[in-house]
Amino acid sequence: PSFWVVIPAAGVGSRMRADRPKQYLPLAGRTILEHTLDCFLGHPGLRGLVVSLASDDPWWPSLSCARDPQVRRAEGGAERADSVLNGLRLLGELGARADDWVLVHDAARPNLTPEDLDRLLTALADDPVGGLLAVPVRDTLKRAGPDGRVLETVDRSVIWQAYTPQMFRFGALQAALAGALAERVAITDEASALEWAGQSPRLIEGRADNLKITRPEDLQWLEQRWKS
Ligand code: CTP
Ligand code: MG
């Protein structure tokens, strides 16, 4: 199916402890953000792509993709969900309709493969709600008390890690995010907004190496990986 993309890229990357937001750190000769946009640019189904950026972002204009006619810039917000909502508002101005598919993907997730993207698009094309790439947890899980002692082992077979892209209908996603934000519900991904609105997003199993670069060792790992 055809789809729109929103890339929230207005975070400061505090856990990365670098001299600039992590999406602008170099990886294999280009910035992480350029690699992330490349996962979508050139896809035959792409209708348009919005990047949500901090208002004082000095790095974006020097990227070549800033001049790509399919790419538009929106204002970032205080939280990730605010940045996504601002991006959706711009998609509306660009002509997105209520039933159109929107994919939201973290700026700091540059290792999305074309196969994973197409598996998500194909699996959800006729789905009434939408869903997200997700990865089954690998490690044994423990629930612990405040003293750091194990209370119990959790059944991991039903636990998944929520990845991106997350794929929902434009109208439903915008309404769910706006509603959840207005009621101050904690929203850490798009799916949680849809869940708050009473929907059940579908999990599509993806590759574990579509990781979000969060800490310095994540970037080192990906650098090594791309070298070999
Ligand atoms: N993001 C955003 N607007 C915010 C906060 C985050 O657009 N107000 C984006 C980040 O740029 C990132 C994605 O949301 O692409 C996932 O967030 P995260 O990994 O937490 O990035 P940061 O918030 O930048 O990192 P940290 O939490 O370590 O500060
Ligand atoms: Mg953050």
Question: What is the reported pLDDT for 228?
Answer: 79
Ligand 2 centroid – CA 140 distance (Å): 26
Ligand 2 centroid – CA 44 distance (Å): 31
| Mean of pLDDT values over 119-131 | 98
Question: What is the reported pLDDT for 37?
Answer: 98
| Mean of pLDDT values over 186-213 | 97
Ligand 2 centroid – CA 6 distance (Å): 16
User: Cα(63)–Cα(13) distance, rounded to whole angstroms?
Assistant: 19
Q: Give the CA diameter of the chain.
A: 55
Question: What is the reported pLDDT for 222?
Answer: 97
User: Residue whose CA is closest, atom 25 of ligand 1?
Assistant: 13
3-227 topology per CATH: Spore Coat Polysaccharide Biosynthesis Protein SpsA; Chain A (3.90.550)
Shortest-distance atom of ligand 1 to CA 108: 15
Ligand showing the shortest atom-to-Cα distance for residue 214: 1
The answer to whether the CB of 110 is under 6 A from ligand 1 is no
User: Cα(196)–Cα(117) distance, rounded to whole angstroms?
Assistant: 25
Radius of gyration for the alpha carbons in the chain, expressed in angstroms and rounded: 18
Residue 68 structure tokens: 């790509």
pLDDT digits (tens, 9 = 90+) for 27-74: 999 999 999 999 999 999 999 999 999 999 999 999 999 999 999 999
The yes/no answer to whether this complex scores an ipTM above 0.90 is yes
Domain ranges within the chain, ordered by starting residue: 3-227
The answer to whether the CB of 8 is under 6 A from ligand 1 is yes
Q: What is the CB neighbour count within 10 angstroms for residue 20?
A: 14
Burial bucket for residue 59 (CB in 10 Å: 0-12, 13-18, 19+): middle
The answer to whether the CB of 83 is under 6 A from ligand 1 is yes
pLDDT digits (tens, 9 = 90+) for 92-114: 999 999 999 999 999 999 999 99
User: Cα(103)–Cα(120) distance, rounded to whole angstroms?
Assistant: 10
Mean pLDDT of the chain: 97
Residue 188 structure tokens: 């850490």
